Copies of this chain bind each other. A is one copy, B any other.
Amino acid sequence: MLSDMTAKSIRARVRDELTSEIKAIARQQLATDGANLSLRAVARELGMVSSAVYRYFPSRDDLLTALIIDCYDELGEAAETAEAAVDRSDLLGRWLATGHGIRDWALANPAEYALIYGSPVPGYRAPETTVGPAARTTNVILALLADGVAAGTLTVADPVPGGGIVLPLPPELGAELDRIAATVCPDVPREVLSRGITAWIQLFGTVTFELFGRLQNMIESSRRNFFDRQLRVMAVYVGLR
């Protein structure tokens, strides 16, 4: 009985170990070779022959998919843990923590961020298994919006008192926002969701610009300050306090 389980575990465990070792070296190579990493180089690094790697990943794209899922999960976890450390009623603090958690992970893993948020690999179709991990970061923000709505902080009305920053939503866009809200955050009105999406795009747009070198010769020494300000500007726009 026990020997059965350990025997099974033995083969399975060494396989899992090799699998994660392959992924580790592949991620290491990701930093230098980007998305077009070499399976043979990974095998060489492991002292294996290239064909042996195919016992663990049926193709290079499958290895890439595994890496993508891992990265989505890591980024999602980074966002979740950063956000979880803030008092639930402090919506602004939660938003800031989420943003900086995402940016910090991206700065620490630039190649991985480029893999999941950069140009789509031509000919590569992301399988369905990636959408779950990919949604983790957005779910953090959506929960933030839902909590703000529940607390009465986020409303349909203009979050900037006396300001005119809220523009009417075109009907087709409004309908589409309603459809999104219905499936993913039922109690968030379309106006709040719309502002949240704008802030979401600003967050990732700023990280992407910083990592892809578009801030070079512009914002250099105060990039964290700049990003923090971007977050706060969007927080005011959304109404997070």
Task: Spell out A's residues near B (CB within 8 Å).
Answer: 31-36, 111, 114-115, 117-123, 160-165, 167, 169-170, 172-173, 175-176, 180, 194, 197-198, 201-202, 204-206, 208-209, 212-214, 218-222, 225-226, 228-230, 232-233, 236-237
Asked if B198 contacts A233 (CB within 8 A), the reply is yes
Q: Looking at the complex, which one of B119, B172, B198 makes contact with A119 (CB distance below 8 Å)? A: B119
- Given A161-B162, A163-B164, 8 other A-B residues pairs in contact with their CB atoms under 8 A: A36-B36, A117-B214, A173-B225, A180-B218, A198-B230, A201-B202, A204-B214, A208-B208
A173–B215 alpha-carbon span in the complex (Å)? 13
Task: Report the minimum CB–CB distance from A39 to chain B (whole Å).
Answer: 15
Chain B nearest CB from A71 CB (Å) reads: 13
Copies in the complex: 2
Is there an interface contact between B221 and A201, defined as CB atoms closer than 8 Å?
Answer: no
User: Least Cβ distance of A195 to chain B in Å?
Assistant: 8
Residue from the list B123, B163, B228 in contact with A32, Cβ < 8 A: B123
Q: Which of B167, B169, B172 contacts A236 (CB 8 A)?
A: B167
Report the separation of the CA atoms of residues A225 and B111 in the bound assembly, to the nearest whole angstrom.
33
Contact of A233 with B165 in the complex, beta carbons under 8 Å: yes
**What are 28 A-B interface contacts by the 8 Å CB criterion?**
A33-B122, A35-B119, A36-B122, A115-B119, A118-B119, A118-B212, A120-B212, A120-B213, A160-B164, A161-B164, A163-B163, A163-B165, A164-B236, A169-B229, A172-B221, A173-B222, A173-B229, A176-B220, A176-B222, A180-B218, A194-B229, A198-B202, A198-B233, A201-B206, A202-B205, A204-B214, A205-B208, A233-B237
- Whether A170 contacts B120 in the complex (CB less than 8 A), given A219-B176, A230-B201, A237-B237, comes out as no
Complex CA gap A213/B229 in Å reads 27
Q: Residues of B contacting A163 with CB < 8 Å? A: 160-165
Closest B-chain residue to A203, C-beta based? B205
- Once bound together, how far apart are the Cα atoms of A226 and B190, in whole Å? 13
Residues of B within 8 A of A198 (CB): 202, 230, 233
Q: Smallest CB-CB separation from A131: which chain B residue?
A: B217
When distances are taken between beta carbons in the complex, the residues of chain B under 8 Å from A32 are: 122-123
Query: In whole angstroms, how far apart are the Cα atoms of A121 and B34 in the complex?
Result: 7
Of B165, B172, B209, B229, the residue contacting A167 (CB under 8 A) is: B229
